Structure 1
Amino acid sequence: MNVLALDLGTSSVRAMVFDDSARARPDALARRGFDLSIAADDSGGATLDADEYLAALCACLDELAKAGHLDDIGLVAASAQWHSVLPVDAGGRPLGPVVTWLDTRPAPPEDATGPLDPEAFHQRTGAWWHRFYWTVKLPWLRDLGLRPARYTGLVEYILGELLGEAPMSVSQASGTGMLDLSTMEWDPEALEIAGVATGQVPSLAAPDWHGRLRPDYARRWPQLARALWSPAVGDGAASNIGSGCVDETRAAVTVGTSAAVRLVQPAPGGAALPPLPHRLWRYRVDDARVVTGAAYSAGGNLFAWARRELRLPEGPALEETLAGIAPFAGVRADPRLGGDRPPGTAPAGSGELRHIGFGTTATEMFAGMMAGVCTMVLGDLEVIESTVDHRVAVTLGGGAIAASPWWRRAFELCLAPRQVDHVDDPEVGCTGAALVALERAAPPARRP
């Protein structure tokens, strides 16, 4: 049996095929780039068109089918962006674009007060009352004049179109900031703050849920007609699993469109969760594990923006210009061009460059921005380590890390004396999704 893994990211949609040991099948990868709609007025808007996104995914599956790569698919897995929200009408049709994690416009209503006990809320949900989460996004959408019948995430909309019925996984639900991580049910206080009833948010997937393609899509891809679809895993959690960072001994530092540092911890449903420091978030991998960490709006997007706007060369030519620059010397940068991820509240446009003179080169400015991301990661990694009372090893991964050996060396210097390894797999999200789906499909005696 082969596994089809989907990566429903922010800047691209990918589909690839693995065998039943989660080894990638040669050349069985299809990708479509996708551009966020970024507000030209610097208001912080960052949205996606849900139906265009679905069309991009379908084009990937058409490409794999044409090449014969969808034969013998028994299981479909998905790694998907966390935190998106899409307002829909009673028929399930979008009332506007998908509001993504990068959108900094949502704000609480003026008369809203948030959780009664913010620290207890943070410990329960792993989140804060913050523009990033549905507790703020849903009232903000209503204040725009929308009157949705329901709210859903991008992945639930996409899978709902393909399958007809796609409940939200506990992993995706935890990314809304409204899930009680211990009971794995919607948190009543979070629903009240968001101003919604349980019927207005997605139903939650049962532990044994699997979906199947709707008849019209099964005719389009008959190879997938009998395949079982697993609940989606949040992209950060999937990246940890795909990087081999599956327990408390090893953290993952992943740099894709954004960047994050995360640690997986065991947490069966109903069990007491480890204490959560205020500056860290916590979401679910699945019903047996949580992932604790911090994330940043600056990552591969910053790398691409700086290279383009500073008119730098690409690939080996860029590395050659960086070779003579020592990381963390000279230019200093605050790389928060896209604003803060929670719990910070800095808006888009908060980036800074310091210690610049007439002799400063474009490459030195670029190096300063990349080193700034390293420094942010180190600070939060030290906080993560305080929750487990030991220094952890680190695995670097993600497409942006793979694209720049200089940036990889900067991370190694910054994170020393920890053991730092690099996984040379730009598709760790797909790999992680395949691994989680295979674990879930295995007999109980074989599960980790």
Structure 2
Amino acid sequence: MSYYLGVDVGTTTTRAVVYDQTARKIQEASQTYPLYRQADGMAEQEPRQLVNAVVDVINEVVAAADLTPNEIKAVGFSSSNQSVILLDDHYQPLTRVITWADTRAARVAKRVQQSLTAQPLYSRTGTPIHPMSPLIKLMWLQEAHPDLMAKAAYVGDVKSFLFNQLFGCFKVDISIASSTGMFNITKSEWDSEALKMAGISSDQLPQVVNGTTQQRGLVETMADRLNLPKDVPFIFGAYDGAMTNVGVGATAEDTVAITIGSSAGVRVVTDHPVIDPEQRLFCYCLDEGKWVVGGPLNNGGAVFDWAVRHMVDTNAVRNSGGDQFDVANSVIAETPVGAHGLIFHPFLGGERAPLWDANARGSFSGLTPLHTRADMLRAVMEGITMNIATVFQVLCELVGRPKSVTATGGFSRSLVWRQMLADVLNTEVKVPQHFAAAALGAATMAMKSVGQTTTVAATTNHDIVMADYQPQAQAVDIYQQVLPIFTRLEGFLTPSYQSLAALQERLSHYQE
């Protein structure tokens, strides 16, 4: 029997999972680390903590699976994308990892959005203009920290830094490269105009490789630390959203993958680039002849966590014998669909798709004296789900309506939320049980690389238990009435977001 490792390097957690050659999960290990938020808009990782976490979880999971090192045939990688790390001429960090969640480049993004370069830039790169984009981050660094940019010999990201530490190379997979805002997705090369805007050259960026590319020959220090053969192939894989699609078998246009964790994402795999004339969606490369089209959303489960903390009655929790999330889900299940006409826009952390506005703010609309905390809780969950539906609708418009949706993430612990997703989308929703999708996708890419399988679509054959949720007619009817109002209100509110953000910033100074 051959065994494969899937490693998923996330924003606050790295997970390693061992699979056998049939993609059956054998063992799992994970390690968490902090996300540094020491300034307004900052969201950074310590790069060496990431490397140490990868080493630790690989050693832990191989030992827990009781395997000999030689039984591991390949290691595949998934990682978050749209990160930036400045490196010196020895590839050592000059900065921490500036993650996708960092919004300090918001003013630069707004300026570029309003320029004549925005549309042609998006058409070439498939990356909407937003503070998450490495291009925009680099433009901000040029203005805010020119001294660091002047010292930077190289510009890397989580994946390229990790592989440099492991192997001494400076390479990155095409999916990570194509989500930087600096990569031409039709020509498959760094975009000269984007690089000029960023103030860097292609010589400072990693070599771009396919996701199935193998890297062998661990550097001595890593070979000593990792309990693996020195020449075991490490496979570059792709970014975590794309790997989730692969992991759940959503590798064709008839299946959409939705992830609802702290944030959220809606994605479909196509066999051709899809560029949205209104710049609402991204389009990144995945593998040879495959692209990922979709939208990332800032506001997923983290917004629901906020609502639970502030709206669940502590006495009810004490009396229930459960926790506050059990109480919240019970309350929501007993509250009528549509929350008595209360609508919530969940933009507590700005928003990426479909608005691409870091200044977006949350709001309740339609409050009356009759509304209760139960209505507000349900409206929050519905608002998060309807925001996801707005991205789903754009995907349907550009790619076609899918046969089904496969949904993963922490939201799946809530049975009421699973059914709500099917009702709001008016589409069958399948939820895999107990399943690390991105890690499985990474392991599948590793299997493809070494010839264990011939296509990433092979994961549709592995043994995943799915729970199916069919849309319920009455709920669908109500949500079909609510969604247009949700969208119309969003349009009314959007012009005020920048003024609201500026007001909040001014008022915060009075409290210092």
- Common fold by TM > 0.5: yes
Give the aligned partner of residue 319 of structure 1.
329
- 2:232 equivalent to 1:227: yes
CA distance in 1: counterparts of 2:223 and 2:65, whole angstroms: 16
CA distance in 1: counterparts of 2:421 and 2:241, whole angstroms: 19
Range with bigger deviation, 246-255 or 317-326 = 317-326
CA distance in 2: counterparts of 1:338 and 1:206, whole angstroms: 33
Matched AA of 2:357: A
Distance 1:111 1:371, change over 3 A: closer
Q: How does 1:5-44 map to 2 (within 5 A)?
A: 5-25=6-26, 28-39=27-38, 43-44=40-41
Matched AA of 1:325: T
| Counterpart among 247, 250, 262 of residue 252 in structure 2 | 247
CA distance in 1: counterparts of 2:309 and 2:66, whole angstroms: 35
Give the aligned partner of residue 49 of structure 1.
46
Deviation of residue 5 (structure 1)?
Answer: 0.6
CA distance in 1: counterparts of 2:429 and 2:249, whole angstroms: 13
Give the aligned partner of residue 270 of structure 1.
none
Q: How does 1:257-276 map to 2 (within 5 A)?
A: 257-267=262-272, 273-276=273-276
Distance 1:37 1:363, change over 3 A: farther
Q: How does 1:193-342 map to 2 (within 5 A)?
A: 193-205=197-209, 209-212=213-216, 213-267=218-272, 273-278=273-278, 279-310=280-311, 313-314=323-324, 316-330=326-340, 331-341=342-352
CA distance in 1: counterparts of 2:453 and 2:14, whole angstroms: 32
Range with bigger deviation, 351-360 or 96-105 = 351-360
Instruction: Report if the CA contact (8 A) 1:397-1:424 is conserved.
Output: no
Matched AA of 2:137: K
CA distance in 2: counterparts of 1:447 and 1:384, whole angstroms: 22
CA distance in 1: counterparts of 2:417 and 2:239, whole angstroms: 26
Matched AA of 1:371: E
Give the aligned partner of residue 508 of structure 2.
none
| Counterpart among 175, 185, 188 of residue 184 in structure 1 | 188
CA distance in 1: counterparts of 2:446 and 2:432, whole angstroms: 21
Instruction: Report if the CA contact (8 A) 1:325-1:364 is conserved.
Output: yes
CA distance in 1: counterparts of 2:336 and 2:343, whole angstroms: 12
Deviation string, structure 1 residues 414-435 (Cα, Å, up to 9, x no partner)? 011x222222244111111222
Instruction: Report if the CA contact (8 A) 1:332-1:355 is conserved.
Output: yes
CA distance in 1: counterparts of 2:143 and 2:169, whole angstroms: 29
CA distance in 1: counterparts of 2:265 and 2:211, whole angstroms: 28
- 2:398 equivalent to 1:394: no
Deviation of residue 115 (structure 1)?
Answer: 7.5
Deviation of residue 182 (structure 1)?
Answer: 1.7
CA distance in 2: counterparts of 1:444 and 1:408, whole angstroms: 32
Give the aligned partner of residue 101 of structure 2.
102
Range with bigger deviation, 162-171 or 119-128 = 119-128
Instruction: Report if the CA contact (8 A) 1:306-1:366 is conserved.
Output: yes
Deviation of residue 234 (structure 1)?
Answer: 0.9
Deviation of residue 293 (structure 1)?
Answer: 0.8
Distance 1:110 1:365, change over 3 A: closer
Instruction: Report if the CA contact (8 A) 1:258-1:298 is conserved.
Output: yes
Range with bigger deviation, 245-254 or 90-99 = 90-99
CA distance in 2: counterparts of 1:134 and 1:336, whole angstroms: 22
More helix by share: 2
SS of residue paired to 1:339: coil
Give the aligned partner of residue 478 of structure 2.
none
Instruction: Report if the CA contact (8 A) 2:240-2:438 is conserved.
Output: yes
SS of residue paired to 2:123: helix
- 2:118 equivalent to 1:118: yes
Deviation string, structure 1 residues 49-68 (Cα, Å, up to 9, x no partner)? 11122222222223224324
SS of residue paired to 1:431: helix
CA distance in 1: counterparts of 2:456 and 2:44, whole angstroms: 38
Deviation string, structure 1 residues 262-311 (Cα, Å, up to 9, x no partner)? 110014xxxxx344342111111122210111110011322333333445
Distance 1:144 1:422, change over 3 A: same
Deviation of residue 233 (structure 1)?
Answer: 0.7
Give the aligned partner of residue 139 of structure 2.
139
- 2:368 equivalent to 1:367: no
Structure number with bigger Rg: 2
Give the aligned partner of residue 130 of structure 1.
130
SS of residue paired to 1:192: helix
Matched AA of 1:181: I
CA distance in 2: counterparts of 1:362 and 1:311, whole angstroms: 8
Matched AA of 1:257: S
Instruction: Report if the CA contact (8 A) 2:212-2:448 is conserved.
Output: no
Distance 1:346 1:206, change over 3 A: closer
Instruction: Report if the CA contact (8 A) 1:394-1:419 is conserved.
Output: yes
- 2:407 equivalent to 1:408: no
Q: How many residues align?
A: 437
Deviation of residue 385 (structure 1)?
Answer: 1.5
Q: CA RMSD in A?
A: 2.7
Matched AA of 2:334: G
Instruction: Report if the CA contact (8 A) 1:257-1:300 is conserved.
Output: yes
Fraction of identical pairs, as percent = 27
Distance 1:255 1:69, change over 3 A: farther
Deviation string, structure 1 residues 120-154 (Cα, Å, up to 9, x no partner)? 33222111343221221112113222232221111
Unaligned runs of 5+ in 2: 314-322, 458-512
